[in-house]
A and B are shown apart, each in its own frame.
Chain A
Amino acid sequence: MSFSVYLPVAGCALNIFLLLGLGGLVGFLSGLFGVGGGFLLTPLLIMIGVPPTVAAASDSNQIVAASASGTYAHARAGSVDFKMGLLLLLGGIAGGSVGVVFIKMLRALGAADFAIKITYIIMLGGVGSYMFFESLGNLRGTRAVAAGGDKSRPSVYARLVEALPWKIHFQRSRVTLSVLMPLLLGVLVGILAAIMGVGGGFIMVPVMVYLLRMPMHVVVGTSLFQILFTCINVTVLQAAVNHTVDLVLALLLLAGSVIGAQLGAKVSRRLKADQLKILMAIIVLVVMVKMLVGLLLAPDIMLAYKGGH
Chain B
Amino acid sequence: MVARFVTVLLLLAAPALAGTGLTLQPERVSAGMFFAGADVVVQARVPRAEQLVFEIRGQQKTYQLKRKGKALGLLWMNVGDLEIKHAPELYLLASSVDCQQLASREELAGQGVGLPALRRQLSSDGRPLTAELFEDFLKLKQSEGLYEFRSGVVEVDGDDAGDVVTTRVVFHLPAKVPLGNHRVRVLAFNQGRGRVLYEKPLTIEQVGAARWITVVAHNHGLLYGIGAVIIALVVGLLTGFLFGLGSKGAH
Chain A interface (Cβ within 8 Å of chain B)? 2, 4-6, 8-9, 11-13, 49, 61-62, 64-73, 76-77, 110, 113-114, 117, 232, 235-241, 243, 245-248, 250-251, 254-255, 258-259, 261-262, 266, 269, 294-306
Asked if A69 and B237 make an inter-chain contact with CB atoms under 8 angstroms apart, the answer reads yes
In the complex, what residues of A have CB within 8 A of residue B241's CB?
72
Q: Does B153 contact A (CB under 8 A)?
A: no
Chain B interface (Cβ within 8 Å of chain A)? 31-37, 63-69, 71, 74-81, 133, 136-137, 139-140, 143-144, 175-176, 178-179, 206, 209-211, 213-214, 217-218, 221-222, 224-226, 228-229, 231-233, 235-237, 239-241, 243-244, 247, 251
Of all chain B residues, the one with the shortest Cβ separation from A306 is: B64
B236 touches which one: A65, A298, A299 (CB < 8 A)?
Answer: A65
In the complex, what residues of B have CB within 8 A of residue A296's CB?
74-76
Asked if A114 and B221 make an inter-chain contact with CB atoms under 8 angstroms apart, the answer reads no
B68 to chain A, nearest CB (A): 5
In the complex, what residues of B have CB within 8 A of residue A261's CB?
236, 239
Asked if B243 and A73 make an inter-chain contact with CB atoms under 8 angstroms apart, the answer reads yes
A286 to chain B, nearest CB (A): 19
Asked if B217 and A303 make an inter-chain contact with CB atoms under 8 angstroms apart, the answer reads no
Asked if A76 and B231 make an inter-chain contact with CB atoms under 8 angstroms apart, the answer reads no
B223 to chain A, nearest CB (A): 9
A73 to chain B, nearest CB (A): 5
B174 to chain A, nearest CB (A): 8
What is the CA–CA distance of A235 and B74 in the complex, to the nearest angstrom? 36
What is the CA–CA distance of A6 and B205 in the complex, to the nearest angstrom? 13
Asked if A64 and B136 make an inter-chain contact with CB atoms under 8 angstroms apart, the answer reads no
Asked if B229 and A4 make an inter-chain contact with CB atoms under 8 angstroms apart, the answer reads no
What is the CA–CA distance of A62 and B224 in the complex, to the nearest angstrom? 14
Asked if B225 and A67 make an inter-chain contact with CB atoms under 8 angstroms apart, the answer reads no
Excluding A65-B236, A266-B247, A303-B136, 11 further A-B contacts by CB distance (< 8 Å) are A6-B34, A61-B229, A69-B237, A113-B66, A239-B222, A247-B213, A258-B235, A269-B251, A294-B76, A304-B68, A305-B64
In the complex, what residues of B have CB within 8 A of residue A232's CB?
229, 233
In the complex, what residues of B have CB within 8 A of residue A243's CB?
217-218, 221, 224
Asked if A9 and B217 make an inter-chain contact with CB atoms under 8 angstroms apart, the answer reads yes
Of all chain B residues, the one with the shortest Cβ separation from A245 is: B228
What is the CA–CA distance of A251 and B235 in the complex, to the nearest angstrom? 9
Of all chain A residues, the one with the shortest Cβ separation from B227 is: A247
A114 touches which one: B37, B77, B235 (CB < 8 A)?
Answer: B77
4 closest cross-chain pairs (CB), A and B: A239-B225, A68-B236, A72-B240, A13-B175
Asked if A299 and B68 make an inter-chain contact with CB atoms under 8 angstroms apart, the answer reads yes
In the complex, what residues of A have CB within 8 A of residue B75's CB?
117, 295-296
Given contacts A262-B240, A306-B81, contact A300 B139 (CB under 8 A): yes
Asked if A11 and B247 make an inter-chain contact with CB atoms under 8 angstroms apart, the answer reads no
Asked if A5 and B228 make an inter-chain contact with CB atoms under 8 angstroms apart, the answer reads no
In the complex, what residues of A have CB within 8 A of residue B68's CB?
299, 302-304
In the complex, what residues of B have CB within 8 A of residue A238's CB?
225
B235 to chain A, nearest CB (A): 5
In the complex, what residues of B have CB within 8 A of residue A71's CB?
240
What is the CA–CA distance of A261 and B76 in the complex, to the nearest angstrom? 35
Asked if A117 and B77 make an inter-chain contact with CB atoms under 8 angstroms apart, the answer reads yes
Asked if A301 and B33 make an inter-chain contact with CB atoms under 8 angstroms apart, the answer reads no
In the complex, what residues of B have CB within 8 A of residue A259's CB?
239
Asked if A113 and B244 make an inter-chain contact with CB atoms under 8 angstroms apart, the answer reads no
Which of B74, B137, B236, B237 gathers the greatest number of chain A CB atoms within 10 Å?
A: B236
A9 to chain B, nearest CB (A): 5
In the complex, what residues of A have CB within 8 A of residue B80's CB?
110
A247 to chain B, nearest CB (A): 6
Given contacts A243-B221, A266-B247, A302-B136, contact A6 B239 (CB under 8 A): no
What is the CA–CA distance of A65 and B58 in the complex, to the nearest angstrom? 38
Which of A13, A239, A251 gathers the greatest number of chain B CB atoms within 10 Å?
A: A239
